[in-house]
Chain A
Amino acid sequence: MKRFFGFVKKEFLHIFRDFRTLIILFGIPASQILIFGFVISTDIENAGIAFLDLSKDEISTGISDRICSSGFFSRTADLAGYEEADRVMKSGRAKAVIIFPAGFGREFLSGRQTTISIIADGSEPNTATLITSYASAIISDFNREYTAPGMTAPLPVQPEVRMFYNPGLKSHYMFVPGVITLILILICALMTSITIAREKEFGTMEVLLVSPLKPSQIIIGKVMPYFFLSFINVIVILLLSWLVFDLPVRGSLALLLAETMLYIMMSLSLGILISTFTANMQQAIFISLIGLMLPTILLSGFIFPIENMPKIYDVLSSVLPPRYFIVIIKNLMIKGKSFSYVWKETLILTLMTIVFLGISIRNFKIRLE
């Protein structure tokens, strides 16, 4: 046991001596969260919008006021004619133009079908989609409220779209769990695979092998320090996402932390597994970065929903541990569900950890060949 702790102490010294390791371990995760959170934002806020009101009545001004007071849009121009629409969008002052046709209010009050045109700048498809859907939602809201009281005529059926869990469709809700999932597996697998490959490259493995240390002591001794540090990392990330993005943990925090520990353990075992079949640091870095990053981003359900994937990718993604952790973390953080909703995923991750560790210890070469 003393041997083992001597080994763990040495590993801690390696980590604290190497400035770059510390940056990778702590700097990257924090900055990733902030970058993903701020830059890759799919929210709109104060998007410039222009109005062409050919009706100028109570109803049309009511709708345009409501659009502008929503906080998503700001009125940047009032147009006099159709020909100005093109100009105002080209100049970039407005991302969209909303047009009320002449006689709009009269038609509306008489209960007949009326139309409002929303012309959006399609050169930024994402923003355009967001703007049109936000604006349509506000308009149908208005529509419903205005016609509901006193009116006996059957209402035109409005599709009711409501976002569960993320009513404002806030993108942090989607990104933070995804980034935690991605970062933990990358950092953990990368760091452990490098640290073992480093012993091989510097020839110190040769001396470790000619010592009474057992393979399991070397492997667990390597994993232990990173386990602690990654756990601290998770707490920092959760604090950041709470303080900066107001992201709550709706479920049990203790359960979330326990699940995260499991996931860290799984990622570390995966790193060890990678290191047992790589000969040097470069290979280890290559495999852990390329081999894990792209599949995690593309196939784990982080960005693209698995339900929409062709069957083959669905099958492929089922071997990826992040897929299960994303389900767990979203359920616990955002939906606030209990363990009974995530036990299956937890079980899968536990099994993966055991398998990875088992293969690593078995694969660990007690000799140089």
Chain B
Amino acid sequence: MEKIIEAQGIGKSFGDTEALKNISFEVNRGEIFGFIGPDGAGKTTLFRIITTLLLPDAGRMTVMGLDCKTGYRELRRNIGYMPGRFSLYHDLTVEENLNFYATVFGTTVRKNYDLIRDVYSHIEPFRKRLAGKLSGGMKQKLALSCALIHKPGLLVLDEPTTGVDAVSRSEFWEMLNRLREENITIIASTPYMDEAMRCNRVALIQKGQILSVNPPEKIREEFSRKIFSVKSSEKYKLINALRNFPGTATAYPFGDSVHLTFRDNEQDHSLTGYLNSMGISDATISETRAGIEDRFLELMQDK
């Protein structure tokens, strides 16, 4: 399979802080590759190296067969980049922004309209509106349209869904899926674990290091223990009680429930009694499948 990105031993420091440590990974043509990790994990720095905005201190990176350092001119023609911050011109209208990026990349909106239609049609009714006056979700769609307008081979999206409501987020990922069918390779970063499931493969990244690279299903399977979902109407009390229970290995809040693992892996049946004695009577315990977040937390603990 053709490799779009090959990174070997990438390292980058800012003064004393090591932002990236010995990072290696490969991205295949036509996949959606996700980088999942908390803020400050090094995602933005890595993306800036991929987009030729920063040079790595160590290691080698080739993107679409070109070296990031020497081939930057050529690469910049063929990368669509959407930075983490909204980076369009607030004082230009939707249409003017799009036209500007089209001309800068030596193309026109009409030529590549088919590619962006799916995204742009949502905001086209507002094309005379100043970009600064758009809502968060619409800004993202405009930024994506601008990043796509020159039909790049690689689309780099740095936290594209941060600050966007849940519906728009889901819509956004559906659009990315359709773009993939146009043979555009997409790499995206996100702090949201649920979005990881939408990627073909994800890299879990933490403190400048990649913990694991796998398809999301595989990552969930990698979780080594039995995991239980505990629910109660008094969630705060519940999590404190679970953490104090002697048989608990880990207890993390997960949506409306708490994901729990036991010290000796098997379910400790004395838990119900314990919770009752703590004044939580409506707790339900059931075995569940580990999510990506569980695996992420497990990997972080192993470190």
Chain A residues engaging chain B, CB cutoff 8 angstroms: 2-3, 5-7, 9-10, 13-14, 17-18, 202-204, 206-213, 366-369
Known: A13-B91, A14-B89, A17-B92. 18 other contacts (CB 8 A): A2-B103, A2-B106, A3-B103, A3-B104, A10-B92, A13-B96, A204-B88, A207-B83, A207-B87, A207-B101, A207-B146, A209-B53, A211-B76, A211-B105, A212-B77, A212-B104, A212-B106, A368-B54
Q: Are A202 and B87 in contact (CB under 8 A)?
A: yes
The 8 Å CB contact of A367, one of B54, B77, B79, B87, is: B54
Task: Report the separation of the CA atoms of residues A9 and B101 in the bound assembly, to the nearest whole angstrom.
Answer: 12
Chain B, residues 98-124, CB within 8 Å of chain A (1/0): the string is 011101111000000000000000000
Q: Nearest B residue to A5 by beta-carbon distance?
A: B103
Task: Report the separation of the CA atoms of residues A213 and B81 in the bound assembly, to the nearest whole angstrom.
Answer: 14
Task: Report the separation of the CA atoms of residues A210 and B150 in the bound assembly, to the nearest whole angstrom.
Answer: 12
Is B20 at the interface (CB under 8 A from chain A)? no
Q: Are B89 and A10 in contact (CB under 8 A)?
A: yes
Q: Are A368 and B48 in contact (CB under 8 A)?
A: yes
List B contacts of A367 (CB < 8 A). Answer: 52-55
Is B51 at the interface (CB under 8 A from chain A)? yes
List B contacts of A2 (CB < 8 A). Answer: 103, 106
Best-surrounded residue of A9, A366, A367 (most CB of chain B within 10 A): A367
In the assembled complex, how far is the CB of residue A200 from the closest CB belonging to chain B, in whole angstroms? 11
Task: Report the separation of the CA atoms of residues A7 and B106 in the bound assembly, to the nearest whole angstrom.
Answer: 11
In the assembled complex, how far is the CB of residue B155 from the closest CB belonging to chain A, in whole angstroms? 12
In the assembled complex, how far is the CB of residue B243 from the closest CB belonging to chain A, in whole angstroms? 41
In the assembled complex, how far is the CB of residue B294 from the closest CB belonging to chain A, in whole angstroms? 34
Is B223 at the interface (CB under 8 A from chain A)? no
In the assembled complex, how far is the CB of residue A313 from the closest CB belonging to chain B, in whole angstroms? 41
15 cross-chain CB contacts under 8 A: A14-B89, A14-B92, A203-B85, A203-B86, A204-B89, A207-B101, A209-B76, A212-B76, A212-B77, A212-B106, A213-B104, A366-B72, A367-B55, A369-B54, A369-B55
Is B90 at the interface (CB under 8 A from chain A)? yes
In the assembled complex, how far is the CB of residue B286 from the closest CB belonging to chain A, in whole angstroms? 46
Q: Nearest A residue to B73 by beta-carbon distance?
A: A212
For chain B, the count of residues having a C-beta within 8 Å of the partner chain is 30
List B contacts of A17 (CB < 8 A). Answer: 91-92
Chain B, residues 239-276, CB within 8 Å of chain A (1/0): the string is 00000000000000000000000000000000000000
In the assembled complex, how far is the CB of residue A10 from the closest CB belonging to chain B, in whole angstroms? 5
List A contacts of B103 (CB < 8 A). Answer: 2-3, 5-7
Q: Are B83 and A6 in contact (CB under 8 A)?
A: no
Task: Report the separation of the CA atoms of residues A369 and B55 in the bound assembly, to the nearest whole angstrom.
Answer: 9
Task: Report the separation of the CA atoms of residues A130 and B96 in the bound assembly, to the nearest whole angstrom.
Answer: 59
List A contacts of B52 (CB < 8 A). Answer: 210, 367
Task: Report the separation of the CA atoms of residues A206 and B53 in the bound assembly, to the nearest whole angstrom.
Answer: 8
List A contacts of B79 (CB < 8 A). Answer: 210
Task: Report the separation of the CA atoms of residues A210 and B90 in the bound assembly, to the nearest whole angstrom.
Answer: 19
List B contacts of A14 (CB < 8 A). Answer: 89, 91-92
List A contacts of B96 (CB < 8 A). Answer: 10, 13
In the assembled complex, how far is the CB of residue B45 from the closest CB belonging to chain A, in whole angstroms? 10
Task: Report the separation of the CA atoms of residues A369 and B49 in the bound assembly, to the nearest whole angstrom.
Answer: 11
List A contacts of B91 (CB < 8 A). Answer: 13-14, 17-18
Task: Report the separation of the CA atoms of residues A367 and B49 in the bound assembly, to the nearest whole angstrom.
Answer: 10
Task: Report the separation of the CA atoms of residues A203 and B51 in the bound assembly, to the nearest whole angstrom.
Answer: 14
Q: Are A13 and B48 in contact (CB under 8 A)?
A: no
Q: Nearest B residue to A214 by beta-carbon distance?
A: B73
List A contacts of B106 (CB < 8 A). Answer: 2-3, 212
Task: Report the separation of the CA atoms of residues A368 and B49 in the bound assembly, to the nearest whole angstrom.
Answer: 10
Chain A to chain B: the 9 pairs with minimum beta-carbon distance, closest first: A6-B103, A203-B87, A17-B91, A210-B81, A203-B85, A368-B53, A212-B77, A10-B100, A206-B83
In the assembled complex, how far is the CB of residue A12 from the closest CB belonging to chain B, in whole angstroms? 11
